[in-house]
Structure 1
Amino acid sequence: MKTELTAGGDPGAAYLIRGVRVVGAEPTDLLLTGGVVAEVGRGLAARGARVVDGDGLVALPGLVDLHTHLREPGREDAETVESGSRAAALGGYTAVCAMANTSPVADTAGVVEQVWRLGREAGLVDVQPIGAVTVGLAGEHLAELGAMAESAARVRIFSDDGHCVADPRLMRRALEYVKAFDGVIAQHAEEPRLTEGAQMHEGEVSTRLGLTGWPAVAEEAIIARDVLLAEHVGSRLHVCHLSTAGSVEVLRHAKKRGVRVTAEVTPHHLLLTDERATSYDPVFKVNPPLRTAADVTALREALVEGIVDIVATDHAPHALEDKECEWAYARPGMLGLETALSVLLDVLGERWDLIAERMSRTPARIAGLVEHGRDPAPGVPANLTLVDPAARRTIDPGEQASRSRNTPYAGLTLPGRIVATFLRGEPTVLDGKAVR
């Protein structure tokens, strides 16, 4: 990238991006001013505007992550709203949805407002809290769904992620409750009675390694139950981190019947398989677990087809002591924000419209983030990211912005580099570096 800029944006400045390919189309210029895309066209000029040479770059609508763990409040040793926001901006994101499994749990209006305010103070991405479905994620009593929805954070997605809402009566009540304000219940699909003591995917590799298996049916059974409940209630269901070929078929059938269900897949479930567990490196321990090559293929095909609606990172930072230990005692989870787009480029190639749809437009639509997920056009909020598709980078955990280091991609060389990210026309990343 040839640019007149260095890291350190000028608040309120206009930015002129020259010769960039918007969602992979022919090169054009973008003028960003007043928080919006003011003009699009060739040969633009604006006195005093700071100039970015976009030759060879692709402009995408700012990425939106529907599944991020920011750990604050409670585990600031692993991540904070600020450090996670910086990691997100460096990954090309302009909005992230922060999961509720904090300490205290985000099950009240007070906690979700705290997370929302911390995101606003950081000012690097829009942080939209996700509220818990049940009090303390305990699966016994509904949390204050209405109070969280009416709070300053305007919560619209609710999830006990990390825990399944296993009680069907409670799940039905949650779906009924959020229907009043067109909310979404995002389910961690795991029948707990089938996964007790599970350490990895149940299959040939787990048998060989002598590790207790997490069967695919534990995910598929909950999805099947929940799409029936969502259909009965007429409410919106979102399935978190889909991981099996069987789950794809359950979703395919539900969508044919018109059930209001959406689903996400993570970058790691699109790239990695359960064979990684043979190293006994806890960085590859995740929930749901890495599955088989056949599952990976099915998930990739479902993502292209649209049976799986979006890519979400499930960015799950952990402190060193929670990962650098024996496999059985390690916490499940992987980093994802700073590498997600590169993984998608590796998996899908330069299919820019598909990437924009799965990583920006559709997740913004599911979350109701109306300022996000919109391709750069006159009058549209200037939330966008610039990507250098020709670049290749070797992932170094020590260079990442997250406070944690549990990336499964360490040492891998992946395509694509985020050159710049703009949030309402203000740069959060320039020349591949965080502005602040």
Structure 2
Amino acid sequence: MKTWIQNGHVLDPLTGTDQIYDVLVDGKDIKKLGTREEIAKILKKEENVQVLDASGCYVMPGFIDLHVHFRDPGLEYKETLKTGGEAAARGGVTTVCAMPNTKPVIDTKEKVEEVHRRAKEESPVHVIQLGAITVGEEGKELADIKGMAEAGCIALSEDGKSVMNSALYREGMKIAKKYGLRIFAHCEEIDLRRDPDTGEDGVMNKCEKSEELGLPGITNSVEDIITARDIFLAKDTGVHLHLCHCSTKGTVDLMRMAKEEGVSVSAEVCPHHFILSTDDITEDHGRFKMNPPLREMKDVEALRQGIKEGVMEVISTDHAPHSAEEKDAPMRKAAFGIVGLETSASLTYTELVEGGVLTPMQMAERMSFAPARILGLENKGSVSEGKTADLVVFDPSREYEIDTDTFLSKGKNTPFDGWKVKGDVKYTLVDGKLVYKNKAYEEQE
């Protein structure tokens, strides 16, 4: 099957291509970029070709989300490989890294293989299952790192917590390095997560707003201390360290230091952390509860600057769906987490591109090219001939209002419900196959 994407503005961070081209997809690969006439010459008149109109749209490499929770296996009432994959496709995301804190925890070769097998059958997008660093994420003994590497997990993560035993963690890093795996770090000093004044488990950032709402707070040092530790351990072991869902100015400063020191390290920021601050928390409600928490404006500004400079080179979501009952509660009782797969591209375009922080090309780089390079996926993250046809057609002019009732994800937990945004996904292709078509354009066509 061939697909002809016509009149799109191609953005390719790999080659620097930034101009109007038609794109011909043949099977799973990009066959040709060129003019309408050049591509027409390649095609035979009798061929059945799917034509997609990309007029006024960017054609970008499909987004790669390094941080999602699909809750499958064991917590399918929150999300499944199918619903999570559908939500990803709607958001222009063609590859995801699924965190291992499911039930059971993904900590063996067999468990990774089973998720990969099922994902190929059930998810419209590529799912890379990450493995836990320790058995059951209990922090007591190392998991089957060699076996999980053989099963293609690419990276290890204890997401949801940190490995607090530094010696055990360092040994895990050394083994990960040996087998070519990356470490995705959730940086949280668990013994400091209690409010320093009340001793109660923190539920939001420690600041004037937490005092105003009478809620226990989480200080920036909870993240910064483990970020520093993990950077030094990565320097010792040589493993590539990827810092997940960064939220503080301190982490941005530490990233600059680490890169100056030549440490193999990368970092991601989520839209909720580079857009929202504690000033946006209007009430004590679970939709504002996430881990790490929303921080103060000085942190938001530092994160934005880090993204602009490329110090923080990846935009991911930490897509963490929960049931309505788990989130529709005061923060002390609600679960941590926010969904983001269906809104990340629109929020990024609205806040960072329209806001003058990033160019459209840099958006493609942060959301696709850089994640592909971190994972070592040489055939992804580019709109160039011979590469895998994982593509998104993104319309920068479409304005709409985020409506959680229309989400394909089972999770509706986001404070962005009702936000007006600019920019939307029109089409998503995975391995050359059209996996999402925006219904908003049907009347126009």
* Partner SS, residue 127 of structure 2: strand
Which amino acid counterpart does residue 161 of structure 2 have in structure 1? H
Partner secondary structure for residue 281 of structure 2: helix
Aligned counterpart in structure 2 of residue 415 of structure 1, from 419, 422, 425: 422
What is the letter of the counterpart of residue 377 of structure 1? S
Does the 8 Å CA contact 1:418/1:432 hold for their aligned counterparts? no
What residue is the counterpart of 1:276 in the other structure? 280
C-alpha displacement at 1:326, in angstroms? Answer: 2.4
Residue 15 (str. 1) matches residue 23 (str. 2): no
After superposition, residues 50-89 of structure 1 pair within 5 angstroms as 50-89=50-89
Query: How does 1:250-329 map onto structure 2 within 5 Å?
Result: 250-329=254-333
| Distance in 2 separating the partners of 1:50 and 1:405 | 33
The TM-score, its normalising length taken from structure 1, stands at: 0.94
Q: 1: distance between equivalents of 2:385 and 2:236? A: 42
- 2:32 corresponds to which of 32, 39, 43: 39
CA distance in structure 1 between the partners assigned to 2:336 and 2:381 by the alignment: 30
State the SS of the aligned residue for 1:327: coil
Q: Deviations over 1:347-381 (max 9, x none)?
A: 2216121111110011111122333212x222221
The reply to whether residue 233 of structure 1 matches residue 237 of structure 2 is yes
Residues 335 and 408 in structure 1, CA contact (< 8 A), matched pair in contact too: no
What is the alpha-carbon distance in structure 1 between the residues aligned to residue 142 and residue 419 of structure 2? 43
Alpha-carbon shift at residue 276 of structure 1 (Å): 3.2
Instruction: Name the counterpart of 1:368.
Output: 376
Whether the aligned pair in 1 keeps the contact of 2:81 and 2:123 (CA below 8 Å) is no
Q: 1:25 Cα shift?
A: 2.6
- Larger deviation: 213-222 or 425-434? 425-434
Match of 1:401 in 2: 408
Aligned match of 2:162: 164
Measure the CA separation in 2 of the matches of 1:22 and 1:395: 26
What stretches of structure 2 of length at least 5 have no aligned partner?
12-16, 195-200
User: CA separation in 2, counterparts of 1:416 and 1:276?
Assistant: 22
1:328 maps to amino acid: R
SS in 2 for 1:25: strand
**Equivalent AA in structure 2 for residue 378 of structure 1:** E
Map of 1:20-169 to 2, 5 A cutoff?
20-23=8-11, 25-43=18-36, 44-45=39-40, 46=43, 47=45, 48-151=48-151, 154-169=152-167
> What CA distance in whole angstroms lies between the structure 2 residues aligned with 1:225 and 1:88?
33
Q: How many angstroms apart in 2 are the aligned matches of 1:101 and 1:282?
A: 21
Aligned residue in 1 for 2:179: 181
- Alpha-carbon deviations, 1:208-253, whole Å to 9, x = none? 2221111001111111111111111222111111100011111111
Tell whether the 8 Å contact from 1:198 to 1:213 is kept in structure 2 after alignment.
yes
Q: Does 1:205 align with 2:209?
A: yes
Could you tell me how far 1:123 is from its partner in structure 2?
Answer: 4.4
Q: Helix, strand or coil for the counterpart of 1:359?
A: helix
Which residue identity lines up with residue 309 of structure 2 in the other structure? Answer: E
Task: Kindly provide the amino acid, as one letter, of the partner of residue 9 in structure 2.
Answer: R
**Is the CA contact (8 Å cut-off) linking 2:30 and 2:388 kept in structure 1?**
yes
Offset at 1:137?
1.0
Which moved further from structure 2: 26-35 or 305-314? 26-35
Q: How far off its partner does 1:181 sit?
A: 2.0
**2:350 maps to 1:346:** yes
Distance in 1, Cα, partners of 2:440 & 2:226? 42
Counterpart position of 1:386:
393
Alpha carbons 1:277, 1:285 under 8 Å: kept: no
Residue 84 to residue 433, structure 1, CA distance change in 2 (3 Å):
farther
Partner of 1:220: 224
1:289 and 1:393 mapped to 2: Cα distance? Answer: 27
What is the count of residue pairs matched by the alignment? 420
- SS of 2:25's partner is strand
CA drift of 1:21 comes to 0.2
> C-alpha separation between the residues in 1 aligned to 2:246 and 2:99?
17
Q: Secondary structure at the match of 2:418?
A: coil
Q: Name the stretch that deviates more: 48-57 or 238-247.
A: 48-57
2:5–2:24 Cα contact (<8 Å) kept: yes
Q: Which amino acid aligns with 1:214?
A: I
Distance 2:263 2:5 in 1: 42
What is the CA-CA distance between 1:183 and the residue it aligns to?
1.1
Cα deviation for residue 433 of structure 1 reads 7.9
CA displacement, residues 175-204 of structure 1 (integer Å, 9 cap, x when unaligned): 111111221111110101110301101111
Task: Compute the displacement of 1:141 (Å).
Answer: 1.1
Any conservation in 1 of the 2:353–2:363 contact (CA below 8 Å)?
no
- Structure 1: 5+ residue stretches without partners: 1-12
Residues 310-351 of structure 1, C-alpha deviation per residue, up to 9 Å, x if partnerless?
011000000112111222111000000000011111222161
CA contact (8 A) 2:84 2:123 kept: no
Calculate percent identity across the aligned residue pairs: 39
Q: TM-score, normalised by structure 2?
A: 0.92
